[in-house]
Amino acid sequence: MKHDLFIRTFLAAGAVAVSGSLAIAQDGPPDEVTEWVFQPAFDQTDAGWDNGVIPWVEAVEEATEGTVKIRVEPAGALVSGAEAFTAAAAGQTDGYAGWATVYGGDMPEGMLAFGMPMGANSPEQAWEAMWGDPDYRIGEIVQDAAHARNLHWAGWSNQGPNAMFTKFPVRKMEDLAGHKMRAGGPQALFHSTMGGSPVSMNAGDIYTAIKLGTIEGTYWDTGGIDDMSFHEVIDYAIMPGWNPAQHQEIFINLDSWNALTQWQRDQIDGIFEETYFETSQMHADGVEEALQILRDAGGEVIELSDEEIARMREKSINDVWPQIAEQSEGNARGVELWKKYLKEVGAY
C-alpha cells in the first residue's frame, strides 16, 4: 500500500532525468491561494453546519496549508436550499453540502451515500461497504455519478439515526399506515411502502405543520431535532428509525476541483476518511443529548425490538430497495452490493 502511494505520488509530481537517474520534481503548496464559496442546502441551525461542513472546511484549509480557503454561506444567501446542489454543478458556487437525493439535484446514486433504508448500523459498517472493503467500494458508483454531473464527492458524515418523530406511537411498522408524515426522497419511498402518506415540504415549514396538525410527524436526523425545536411539537421518537446511519455529503464543482494542483487535490482527498469519522462522532455525541431534551419536554423514546427491526429490515430490502435500484444502473449495482455486504456481516 505504501509502495503504491509512493508510485502515485511520484507520477503525480512528475520526474526529470539527471545523469541517467530519476529525480522527483519538488511538489507542495502552490504560491497562489484559491478562494471558494460554498452554499449548503441548510443554514447554521442545522446540525450539519457545526458538526459536518465547518469541521471539513477547517480540515481542508489546514491540509492545504492555507492555499484553499472556503467561505460558507447559509441556504438562501446565494440560491435557495433546493437549488444549492444544481448551483454547485453549474458553477454558480464552488461547492455544496447536504443530501442530493432529498433537497434537489438529479442524482439517484446519492441514495447509496445517503444511507439505505435499514442498511448500515454504524459509521464503521457504512465506511467498510462504501470505501473500506475492496470487494464493495460502493462509493465509486456515487463518485462516477457525481463526476457525470460536474461534481466531485469530497466529504461525508454519518449524522446518526434518521428516525420517525411523531404525534402517535410506533411499536411495529404497521403503526405507520395511514399517517401523514413529512418525508422526502428515500424517506418517502420507505413511508409509502409502510402504508403511510408522505408529504413534501421545506424544512422551515415542518414545525408549524406538525403544530397545526397538517402532518403527524417528520423523518429527521436524531441529533438535529432540538435544533429544529421539534421536541416542542412531537410526542415520540422511534429508534433506530428507518435509517440507522443517515449521511450527509459534500460536493465540489468539478471545474473548481480540477483547477487545483495535484498536491492540493491529494491533500483534500487525504482527509476524506479522517473527517468522516471525526464528524460522525460529533453527530453521535449530539444524539443522546437531543433525545434527553425530548424526554425532558415530556416526550417518549420508543426503542423498537430486535424482532421488529429484523421485520422492518426484511421488508425494506424486499420492497423498498427495488424501488431505489430501478432508478439507475448505478443504483441497481449498488443495491446488489449492499445486499451482499449485509449478508456477509450477518445483518440480513
Return the domain boundaries, the chain.
34-159+247-285, 162-245+287-343
Amino acid 20: pLDDT: 37
Q: Is 80 helix (H, G, I), strand (E, B) or coil?
A: coil
Nearest to 158 by CA among 288, 41, 292, 273: 273
Q: Which CATH architecture describes the domain 34-159+247-285?
A: 3-Layer(aba) Sandwich (3.40)
User: What are the average pLDDT values for consecutive 10-residue runs of the chain, which has 348 residues?
Assistant: 38 36 59 97 91 97 98 96 94 94 77 94 96 97 97 97 96 97 91 96 92 96 91 96 95 98 98 98 93 96 96 96 95 97 91
Distance (Å, whole) CA 348 – CA 335:
13
Helix (H) or strand (E) holding 300: strand 300-303
Amino acid 22: pLDDT: 34
> Considering the entire predicted model, what is its pTM?
0.88
Amino acid 275: pLDDT: 98
Distance between the two ends of the chain, CA-based, in angstroms? 32
Same fold, 34-159+247-285 and 162-245+287-343: yes
Amino acid 105: pLDDT: 62
Amino acid 184: pLDDT: 84
Distance (Å, whole) CA 27 – CA 130:
30
Q: Under CATH, which number does the domain 162-245+287-343 receive?
A: 3.40.190.170
**Contact (CB, 8 A) for 288 and 219:** no
Nearest to 102 by CA among 226, 229, 232, 248: 248
**Contact (CB, 8 A) for 286 and 201:** no
**Contact (CB, 8 A) for 253 and 93:** yes
Distance (Å, whole) CA 86 – CA 189:
22
Distance (Å, whole) CA 174 – CA 196:
9
